[in-house]
Amino acid sequence: MLISPDTAQQILTDLTEAGPVPAAPAGLSRYWFLSNGHVLIGDAAIRGYKHKGQWRLDDRDVRRAGVKLASLEVQLDDTVPLLSPHHSDQPAEGDGWRQKIANWISHTQYLHRHAQKCGCNVLGCCEVPEAEAADGDLPDPLALENLPGGYRLIIASTRPGPLLTWSGQHWQIPRAYAQLLTNADSVQASLNQAASICRDCGAEADVRQHRTSSSSGFITRCAACAGSRFQTYTGHLRGVAYSSLSKNTRAGAYLCCLCEEPRPAYYFDHCHQHHDIRGPVCASCNTYEGGGFNYLQRKGSLQHLLTCTGCRRERTLPPRHHAEIVLLTFQPEPHEGCATHSIACNHWPGPNMRWVQKVPASEVRSIVRAFVDRALGEQGDES
């Protein structure tokens, strides 16, 4: 039976509640399917199925993996060093999970120093003696995830943090759990390799560039195959209302109009304020535009947004992009301790401190209008 990720998370929680390895059910979400179509529970790969546009998992697969994880025999006093004994400041080569944990510890060190009122904004703390700023100068592992600005590290739907111990010289991790994570890395590498093969020609492709969403899930299709199978969008739907689009006109018949390399589209992107179609885009570009963060710095993005006739007419852009426009063009007042007229500077006293300067809505509208006017002027479009 196919179940939702939410149901799978509850099943995993119930099955592993009394187990030795802390489970991280949040790892069973749709976002984890992108790289290879699977999620890991320990070293067991769970395939994702796309059903009616929603991601699903097989109930039997989740239960088998949950029981296996809960039954792992872990001796808490049988540990191995997290870092290589020959290079105590470097992760052991070849183990991706070690690198992830080492990076996480480095991050929590940084947060911990600031929690201890250290005013330095770099990892090599200048106010805490080196001996006191070493790995051992961290709180109990159970508290690492609760530091201000911290996060819970998830690897293979498990949480390594609570299983870390400090020997006085090294961070240690139970041997059986270390082996489980090594196995999981191997499974992940095999799945990633399989996912990098173009489904049409069998050639190896760059997953980051050529893996895209489809009605049946994520697929990999190289640029050459995509370019030969799908149409190039010519802009013929410019000014057409999204609601009037014929059901027979499918975005999936076109190439993404934003990606530099040929990539199949999945949605018709449209302006939610004026309802004009902008063009066919892949799922990645659609998500990127919807988030609004740093979108305008991407090549061709501004021109794409301005294919909306309503935005051109009103000299505006969707509200989610207004903050970025202000950041790109606004001249702020210098703040305390900084003489520069820049929103980005290196004078913050800590990772959780924020400098706030309010920009009135009326001024934002003027800034956005001037920004759009400049863009249309550069395009030679005064319509």
Indicate the number of domains in the chain.
Answer: 1
Which pLDDT band holds residue 247 (cuts at 50, 70, 90)?
confident
With respect to residue 102, please indicate whether it lies within any of the assigned structural domains: no
Secondary structure string (H, E, C) spanning 127-143: CCCCCCCCHHHCCCHHH
With respect to residue 263, please indicate whether it lies within any of the assigned structural domains: yes
Distance CA 361, CA 330 (A): 13
pTM listed for this prediction: 0.75
With respect to residue 241, please indicate whether it lies within any of the assigned structural domains: yes
With respect to residue 327, please indicate whether it lies within any of the assigned structural domains: yes
Read off the pLDDT of residues 86-140 as tens digits, 9 standing for 90 and up: 444 444 444 589 999 988 888 877 777 766 666 554 444 444 444 344 444 555 6
> Is the model's pLDDT at 356 over the cut of 80?
no
Nearest to 259 by CA among 219, 294, 232: 232
Residue-wise burial string across 100-115, b where 16 or more C-beta atoms lie within 10 A, e elsewhere: bbbebbebbbbbbbbb
With respect to residue 56, please indicate whether it lies within any of the assigned structural domains: no
Contact 59, 42 (CB under 8 A): no
Read off the pLDDT of residues 289-328 as tens digits, 9 standing for 90 and up: 988 778 998 899 999 999 999 999 999 999 999 989 988 8
Please give the residue range of the domain that contains residue 358: 207-379
- C-alpha distances (whole Å) from 255 to each of 197, 290, 296, 297, 348 are 20, 19, 21, 22, 44
Nearest to 158 by CA among 30, 91, 65, 63: 65
With respect to residue 122, please indicate whether it lies within any of the assigned structural domains: no
